[in-house]
Structure 1
Amino acid sequence: MRENVFITGANGWIGKKLLEKLLAKQFNITALIRKKNAESFMLEEKHNNLQFIEGDLEKVEEWKHGLNGVDTLIHLAAKVHTYSKSEKEATAFYAINFESTKKIFEKAEKYGVKKGIFISSVAVDDLTTEKEGKIEYAYASSKIKAERFLIDFKKSSNMSIQIIRPVTLYGGQDKGNFRRLYKLTRFNFFPIIGEGENLKSVIYYEDFAESLVNIMQEPISSTKEVLTIGAETISMNEIAQQFKKSNKRMIIVKLPVTPLRVILKIINIVNKTFSLKINRQLNTLIQSNTYEYEENLKYLPSKITFFRNINFKNEYIGNEPKK
């Protein structure tokens, strides 16, 4: 008997790839999307084991019936890839990433869902006590709040719950740091701040989707409560060299850190908002973001996609994410 799977965020960047991989394995799938379109109608027509339902994450009562008869819930949808700039925006992070997650899992348990998988973020690993709760860290704060709720909820629930923290994802229609970094190559210039030896833990988006399918099929009792999923760790120098393969005219320039910080302080006096934005981008180029994922490599596909093998021109050009 085929397992029944419910996915939120099925029309997103990772969700589409996850959907593709689950369909290939013949699972019965109910996929929550905000609004049906030509693509969703075509997929339903092609696959008799797929059903899309329309719904808003914040209005669970309107689509909760879709959880009836479900074996596994994969909660992928979230508000991501932005720093909150106001109290209103911070509130939206908590509403979607925490409050909606809470309601979805509570309803799932009532409908007898056996297993729940929540996609969190390694941003919570970098969240200090001083940062938690501040407006600009609302994304990470909302995710850690959801994690804490689920860990506590699991103690009194009949549902098995797994929390997944992916490292930096790249490829396809990503809207994150890698696409922003690659956009710099359009100017035939790529800056490295400092020596370029700072490290990043990364995973190709298709490999992450495959790992979710593999984790889903594992008994949760045999896994850790929180799994960090990554594939490799690379340096900023390696990132620059790989980008250069896609643009031979690109010049890699190493810039000293201290003068840039001084310039940033001057900009901060004139325009604090702009300074904050530049500072975050600067930190992306300077900081190391590494995480312990080695013990979870077993969940990745047998053939991993390595960063050094990606042609970023083919990967990103003409494959822009939807607004």
Structure 2
Amino acid sequence: MEKIKKILITGANGMIGSAIIRELINKYELILLAPRTHRIEEYADRATIIKSDLLEVNVWQGMLDNVYCVVHLAAAVHWMPMTIEEERQFIKTNAEGTRILYNACIDHGVERFLFFSTNDVYAVSDQLITERTATDPQGFYGKSKLLAEQYLRKSSKGSKTAVCIFRPASVYGQNDKGSMKSLIAFCRKGIVPMIGKGANKKTLLYLKDIVQATARYIESENDLDGEVFNISSGDYGYKEIIDSICDCYGLNPLRVYIPTWFCKKVASKVGPLKKLAVAGEIKIVSNDKATKILRYKGKYSLADGLMDAKSYYGVNQE
């Protein structure tokens, strides 16, 4: 009888981590690491939960013995560092924390290390972005993730702990705290910003699709050492996103049209308006490499994802 593999997940209490657990809980022996555990306490009788910060090495490193794969999600995200000290904390968590974890994995003989980076390592562009596109992160989150990537790719050469890197697009679905949740909230309140003609495209990723990609990596016979994959579900114009929200949830908000030039030249420089600037950006990311090598293919269209997550986003339909 084949021995059940051990998987350790950092950031297990987060949006993606808790979704991955739901997929893997009956297939593997899970070790869940997170400083807060309210979303994962229901698995306490079927998994080992370690309530600890990633930087508290002495608390968790002993649990790496006989671990097959570490899925590293823990990160500082969804906030902007405003001081030098906060910037240092960002780097400490996202880059230094990754270095500490990976070195511990090497010491304990972990076979695979799956690192969740971000497609924020790329600059916005009206050209199709692939894994060959030069990295040029504009924000502190992307910069800190790229630092972690660079360390892993350098350190994994000659190491027995294989490293695979995912660069997921903007994720939406259950426990979303990002832009999709904000757009849906605007639509529900009856007014939503429309940037220019709304033709600017965005690459989106439904939560269950990134879970699928993770499972495919763990199950893959190839450890894909040194490989980097963009992961997404599809590309959608800004107007198309708003239309899909309205169609799926039966909403009809007033659309307030905002010129593209205003987003680029004004909103991008004013703190409270920067989200408008982001909404007006273009970023289209290719999924081809993940399809060919990882055999990953997004199963959820935008409409499918929105309907599947309807109960979370709190929109009732007749």
Q: TM-score range by the shorter chain?
A: 0.7 to 0.9
Residues 151-198 of structure 1 deviation map (CA, whole Å, 9 limit, x = unaligned):
001113111110111011111111111112222113311221111110
In structure 2, relative to structure 1, the CA distance for the partners of 1:221 and 1:215 (3 Å cut) is closer
- In structure 2, C-alpha distance between the alignment counterparts of 1:163 and 1:53, rounded to whole Å: 24
- In structure 1, C-alpha distance between the alignment counterparts of 2:163 and 2:96, rounded to whole Å: 17
- In structure 2, C-alpha distance between the alignment counterparts of 1:236 and 1:290, rounded to whole Å: 12
Alpha carbons 2:200, 2:281 under 8 Å: kept: yes
Secondary structure of 1:126's match?
coil
- In structure 1, C-alpha distance between the alignment counterparts of 2:233 and 2:135, rounded to whole Å: 30
Alpha carbons 2:111, 2:160 under 8 Å: kept: yes
Aligned to 2:272: 277
Aligned to 2:253: 250
In structure 2, relative to structure 1, the CA distance for the partners of 1:316 and 1:233 (3 Å cut) is same
Match of 1:214 among 196, 213, 216: 216
My pick for the range that moved more, 60-69 or 221-230, is: 221-230
Measure how far apart 1:281 and its partner are. 0.9
Q: What residue identity is the alignment partner of 1:151? A: R
- In structure 1, C-alpha distance between the alignment counterparts of 2:64 and 2:72, rounded to whole Å: 12
Secondary structure of 1:57's match?
coil
Match of 2:288 among 290, 294, 305: 294
Pick the structure with more helix per residue.
1
Aligned to 2:74: 77
Measure how far apart 1:42 and its partner are. 3.7
- In structure 1, C-alpha distance between the alignment counterparts of 2:169 and 2:139, rounded to whole Å: 18
Aligned to 1:229: 231
In structure 2, relative to structure 1, the CA distance for the partners of 1:127 and 1:70 (3 Å cut) is farther
Q: Identical aligned pairs, as a percentage?
A: 23
* Number of positions where the alignment pairs a residue of Structure 1 with one of Structure 2: 301
What residue ranges of structure 1 are gaps of 5+ in the alignment?
A: 269-274, 319-323
Write out aligned runs for 1:101-112 (5 A). 101-112=98-109
Secondary structure of 1:74's match?
strand
- In structure 1, C-alpha distance between the alignment counterparts of 2:235 and 2:9, rounded to whole Å: 29
- In structure 2, C-alpha distance between the alignment counterparts of 1:281 and 1:35, rounded to whole Å: 28
Q: What residue identity is the alignment partner of 2:184? A: Y
Aligned to 1:306: 301
- In structure 1, C-alpha distance between the alignment counterparts of 2:166 and 2:263, rounded to whole Å: 36
What residue ranges of structure 2 are gaps of 5+ in the alignment?
A: 126-133
Residues 210-258 of structure 1 deviation map (CA, whole Å, 9 limit, x = unaligned):
2101112214455761111112111111111012122433123433234
Write out aligned runs for 1:177-188 (5 A). 177-188=179-190
Match of 1:64 among 37, 61, 64: 61
Measure how far apart 1:302 and its partner are. 6.9
Match of 1:140 among 139, 142, 148: 142
- In structure 1, C-alpha distance between the alignment counterparts of 2:70 and 2:166, rounded to whole Å: 13
Write out aligned runs for 1:195-214 (5 A). 195-214=197-216
TM-score (norm 1): 0.84
TM-score (norm 2): 0.86
